[in-house]
Structure 1
């Protein structure tokens, strides 16, 4: 009788999940789908689609709009994208991550007393990547002109009604904003008044940014008048940003405020079209960015979890949570030590890390009854027939850990909290609603785009009179190889970032496009979102809203200026408020330290491809402003 009861219980549990209503409706479309972190930005994507643009055109328009609206990113930040090309039936990766500037060395930062590069200000800035990323994607895979794609962003820069959460974030950060003259000029529209930031609904105008965008469009239009082709004209705009008068003002403004970026740094930097990494999970091909992101950790976790019957365990049972938590810990331990810029030495052992045999070895380490607080990096080198030259360094890599509290997400990405009073607790309200955005787009011709852009979040240091906020991604480097020998800061090098868009194919056709914001929680929430759909048959909207959990047993990639701030918190887990008491009790016995929140799914945005009916299903997070439009 027991097996029958278990099967019946499991059927009931899964059926009840599938039947759960969602806070936001599923999106449906036949021709296209546009989803991103701001309603106005989703409208920008829809406008481009309505004018005949493809998914790449629409994605670029949404990206430009979100940057202009300071959706915890700006034009000086970084972009990484996965694009499915229906003509070649291949997934393309766009690497538009900036690099460390001239002079950004370990000695430079250590002499200033840093344990990690700073979180804010000019010294936190890598070279801007998003303008170059937009130009490269649009030139190679779009159909529209830069002028058409930037039109919505330019209208926003000319003035749009600013949202309460962005306006209030400016007000709260005004002390730091005042440290930088160009930021003060842009953001503090009421200098000297009690409230110096814009009010909610006020028309927020960014004259300097509008001038910069106009210059880029001018360069494109002049090139077209000179009978240059569409691609060359778009790249003329690129050249004006990275080599022309925009570059000159950006560098002048950066260096005036103490930054390191040089004209040569901008001229030498280029976005890269690279091969996406991939693994197969139960017949589904999942694609991620290279090891300069944390993307491969999701692939590693899937390889590990393939060795377990997750469906039999049951959605968010104690055994399921424990198993997935352990798999994430194993993959993050490798991420924290072995991931870095593949274009700079040393060479990352990515082939070994993604080996199925290596995953089986790692899976065998999981104790089914207890969390392992000493979970460390493995040795992937034998799985690519090489010798690990870092074994001695690994032996020295012993850090004390503690269970003290810290945020699961970096401050700029936090949307979590407990109860709040809307009239008094503006800080919580802001944290609930804001976060680095994601961009998802797909069209009837088969083009699919997934982007997780970021950088230049508030409080941002604006570079001169460009209106462009500089990135803060330098903080993701390390200054000591004992933490990660592949991610030690050096001029011209990309930091290992958390940003990680996702695409999945099934039967050679697009299956899912998905992304999320949230620092080190990104891959955790995307992993569980994917499993929610594949293992537990949730719809794409149910999967975006479903209760996930987060591990803190990892090295933080953002935030904190001291070693103690970044160290793993062993056994620290964030659970949903609705977690059953029995599950809580069982997890405590397994060695976990529990914390709770009412929303733990992360602000996930996604598109599911229904080939049976020839339609697109969109899922847009219920966390905040995330918004989608389909047609």
Structure 2
């Protein structure tokens, strides 16, 4: 079969490596990163520099990760300070993986009846009614206090400097300009973002110094609280948590709640005071001697673990990388895992409790894998019944039957769609005969934007053995800022459902966490760190992370090769983000996104299997990753060519 789709544009001097399975060199657009002492990778170059600064000051990977997190929030890298943080940390002394749940909760008054009274079928996408309580400030303080070594003042120094003014990048500046109509609905957002109000371009120019005075004051208040506690004789941890208390219980909380309520929000002072981050045990499965760790079922992370369990029943190497049988198998496996995600996943601290032991069992995976037709797509994939695999009876059998009758997948064709993020890079390549198809694709971009809606990722590791993988998000542009705090509110409430027929585990309730797409990853081999990896991209996250992992483990790619390699994406799932009507989020049966360079022979075979094909130029992530070379005791970094992600190693 032709291998055109494996060729990438080459930057001069970039190191190449052999792919053992393909017996040819796969060159990468970005060079691989190498380090002996530490590695810092995240979504923005300036934020990676913040992590490097903490390493150079003697900090560990947790310190560096917290500095990168703070910087990306300040730069509005599709998130802000009012969003949510979820992390996996490898503790080298305890030799275990620790999970951090710093996701906000639904506020007081966020009930099914409330949203239905406003005509919603899902909670809204934007504005104060889309907000859960902020999680990132608390998550950062908790991680730093428990596992870092530096003070909050040291960690926040780069972010505070940025809030005082930094040269804004084109991606963020243009995102503000695109979203300015909505930004104008919220007075505090307009004050911060539309620095040239009344001009044709009201957003900052790329390279212009962007100043956030309110956020600067808020971050400075956190440092002041820490310093006051230290001056009173408190220890480092207690002092950091004093800053935490000022955000969630003090004057910052007062202004946040006031500003939210003024704009129609529901968050109360009690909601902030009662919230706290949770340290958890992660979930994991073993795939060919590698232990893969994910957060619990309040994320979609277990869907990747389920996929790996299913894939144990197939010989992927024999199929060949991105062959038609390989793509078909991945698609069917992911659809089975996501069908279970869509019905069974939710906040484990609220009843009902997901049957996660059954969902991740080998025997359940084997039974589900046996249902796959090797020659045709199944457009009617339904949730399975994992309860018998943990010795229980399914209490939702009747609900599942009713669900299958009411919710049928969307089977209309959506061919030749190029995702929105590819518009600028591919429009010049289209011939005149493509005009009609291009216009159709642009109209469909709203759906794909919801599917691919991004966050950022933070990856850090050090020579001592600390490893951190974070997928923070929330409060992305266009964001509603809460009063004079400079803090953008989360939009994560939209990931709840209002109808138990869709998912009885994820119905909105005050104090409950929504089931999110955010999903950092860690893998150990021989009990030692092997891979740390994460990606942005909404419902595609665990699809892309699964393929990155297989690229590395099954096909011998380096982290950089694996992060740039062409992936596939399935749209045959319920969207977790965007739209307030059922039709906005229904699965699209057989909808398959392929790389534009996929060989015609493979495309033809997949079409005969029942797939509706769309094409994109880059559908690999962007993925950020660190590979731990156990043989040489060094670090390899991979940072995708699909975005502004950037890494620094030493």
Contact kept? 2:624, 2:638, Cα under 8 Å: yes
Task: Find the aligned partners of 1:17 and 1:560 in 2 and give their Cα distance.
Answer: 45
Q: Where does residue 41 of structure 1 map in the other structure?
A: 47
**2:461 equivalent to 1:446:** no
Report the alpha carbon displacement of residue 223 of structure 1 after superposing the two structures with TM.
Answer: 0.3
- Residue deviations 1:217-242 (CA, integer Å, cap 9, x gap): 00000000011000000000000000
Report the alpha carbon displacement of residue 290 of structure 1 after superposing the two structures with TM.
Answer: 0.4
**2:294 equivalent to 1:275:** no
Q: Among residues 573, 593, 617, which one is paired with 2:612 in the alignment?
A: 593
Task: Find the aligned partners of 1:275 and 1:517 in 2 and give their Cα distance.
Answer: 23
Q: Where does residue 76 of structure 1 map in the other structure?
A: 82
Task: Find the aligned partners of 1:550 and 1:358 in 2 and give their Cα distance.
Answer: 24
Q: Where does residue 427 of structure 2 map in the other structure?
A: 420
Report the alpha carbon displacement of residue 407 of structure 1 after superposing the two structures with TM.
Answer: 12
Q: Where does residue 93 of structure 1 map in the other structure?
A: 99
Q: Among residues 589, 593, 602, which one is paired with 1:570 in the alignment?
A: 589
Q: Where does residue 223 of structure 1 map in the other structure?
A: 229
- Residue deviations 1:99-137 (CA, integer Å, cap 9, x gap): 000000000000000000000000000000000000000
Q: Where does residue 345 of structure 1 map in the other structure?
A: 351
Contact kept? 1:18, 1:539, Cα under 8 Å: no
Contact kept? 2:284, 2:293, Cα under 8 Å: yes
Contact kept? 1:415, 1:435, Cα under 8 Å: no
Q: Where does residue 7 of structure 1 map in the other structure?
A: none
Q: Among residues 299, 315, 321, which one is paired with 1:315 in the alignment?
A: 321
- Residue deviations 1:411-438 (CA, integer Å, cap 9, x gap): 9xx634461359xx9x99xx9x994110
Q: Where does residue 399 of structure 2 map in the other structure?
A: 393
SS of 1:415 mapped into structure 2: helix
Q: Where does residue 456 of structure 2 map in the other structure?
A: 437
SS of 2:239 mapped into structure 1: helix
**2:566 equivalent to 1:560:** no
Task: Find the aligned partners of 1:548 and 1:17 in 2 and give their Cα distance.
Answer: 20
SS of 2:507 mapped into structure 1: coil
Task: Find the aligned partners of 1:83 and 1:46 in 2 and give their Cα distance.
Answer: 18
Contact kept? 2:415, 2:613, Cα under 8 Å: no
Q: Among residues 187, 203, 212, which one is paired with 1:197 in the alignment?
A: 203
Q: Where does residue 338 of structure 2 map in the other structure?
A: 332
Report the alpha carbon displacement of residue 624 of structure 1 after superposing the two structures with TM.
Answer: 1.6
- Per mean C-alpha deviation after superposition, the further-off stretch among 14-23 and 202-211 is 14-23
Task: Find the aligned partners of 2:31 and 2:413 in 1 and give their Cα distance.
Answer: 35
- Per mean C-alpha deviation after superposition, the further-off stretch among 13-22 and 265-274 is 13-22
Report the alpha carbon displacement of residue 402 of structure 1 after superposing the two structures with TM.
Answer: 2.4
State the TM-score, normalized to the length of structure 2: 0.92
CA RMSD of aligned residues (A): 1.9
Structure 1 segment 149-548 matched on structure 2, within 5 A = 149-398=155-404, 399-404=407-412, 415-417=421-423, 419-420=426-427, 435-548=454-567
- Residue deviations 1:331-355 (CA, integer Å, cap 9, x gap): 0000000000001111111111011
SS of 1:618 mapped into structure 2: strand
Report the alpha carbon displacement of residue 405 of structure 1 after superposing the two structures with TM.
Answer: 6.6
**2:630 equivalent to 1:623:** no
Report the alpha carbon displacement of residue 165 of structure 1 after superposing the two structures with TM.
Answer: 1.5
Say if 1:316 and 1:445 are closer, same or farther in 2 by CA, change over 3 A. same
Contact kept? 2:19, 2:26, Cα under 8 Å: no
Task: Find the aligned partners of 1:406 and 1:148 in 2 and give their Cα distance.
Answer: 50
Report the alpha carbon displacement of residue 455 of structure 1 after superposing the two structures with TM.
Answer: 0.3
- Residue deviations 1:78-107 (CA, integer Å, cap 9, x gap): 000000000000000000000000000000
Q: Where does residue 8 of structure 1 map in the other structure?
A: none
Task: Find the aligned partners of 1:150 and 1:125 in 2 and give their Cα distance.
Answer: 24
Q: Please, which runs of 5 or more residues in structure 2 have no aligned partner?
A: 1-17, 430-437
Report the alpha carbon displacement of residue 404 of structure 1 after superposing the two structures with TM.
Answer: 4.0
- Residue deviations 1:249-276 (CA, integer Å, cap 9, x gap): 0000000000000000000000000000
Task: Find the aligned partners of 2:589 and 2:562 in 1 and give their Cα distance.
Answer: 27
Report the alpha carbon displacement of residue 193 of structure 1 after superposing the two structures with TM.
Answer: 1.4
Q: Where does residue 3 of structure 1 map in the other structure?
A: none
Task: Find the aligned partners of 1:231 and 1:496 in 2 and give their Cα distance.
Answer: 30
State the TM-score, normalized to the length of structure 1: 0.95
Task: Find the aligned partners of 1:217 and 1:408 in 2 and give their Cα distance.
Answer: 52
Report the alpha carbon displacement of residue 406 of structure 1 after superposing the two structures with TM.
Answer: 7.4
Say if 1:497 and 1:99 are closer, same or farther in 2 by CA, change over 3 A. same
Report the alpha carbon displacement of residue 408 of structure 1 after superposing the two structures with TM.
Answer: 13
SS of 2:500 mapped into structure 1: coil
Q: Where does residue 6 of structure 1 map in the other structure?
A: none
Q: Please, which runs of 5 or more residues in structure 1 have no aligned partner?
A: 1-11
Contact kept? 2:453, 2:538, Cα under 8 Å: no
Contact kept? 2:90, 2:466, Cα under 8 Å: yes
Task: Find the aligned partners of 1:401 and 1:86 in 2 and give their Cα distance.
Answer: 46
Contact kept? 1:401, 1:567, Cα under 8 Å: yes
Report the alpha carbon displacement of residue 191 of structure 1 after superposing the two structures with TM.
Answer: 1.4
Contact kept? 2:81, 2:136, Cα under 8 Å: yes
**2:599 equivalent to 1:580:** yes
Contact kept? 1:96, 1:271, Cα under 8 Å: yes
- Per mean C-alpha deviation after superposition, the further-off stretch among 476-485 and 164-173 is 164-173
Contact kept? 1:17, 1:538, Cα under 8 Å: no
Task: Find the aligned partners of 1:370 and 1:487 in 2 and give their Cα distance.
Answer: 32
Task: Find the aligned partners of 1:156 and 1:388 in 2 and give their Cα distance.
Answer: 52
Q: Where does residue 136 of structure 2 map in the other structure?
A: 130
SS of 2:426 mapped into structure 1: coil
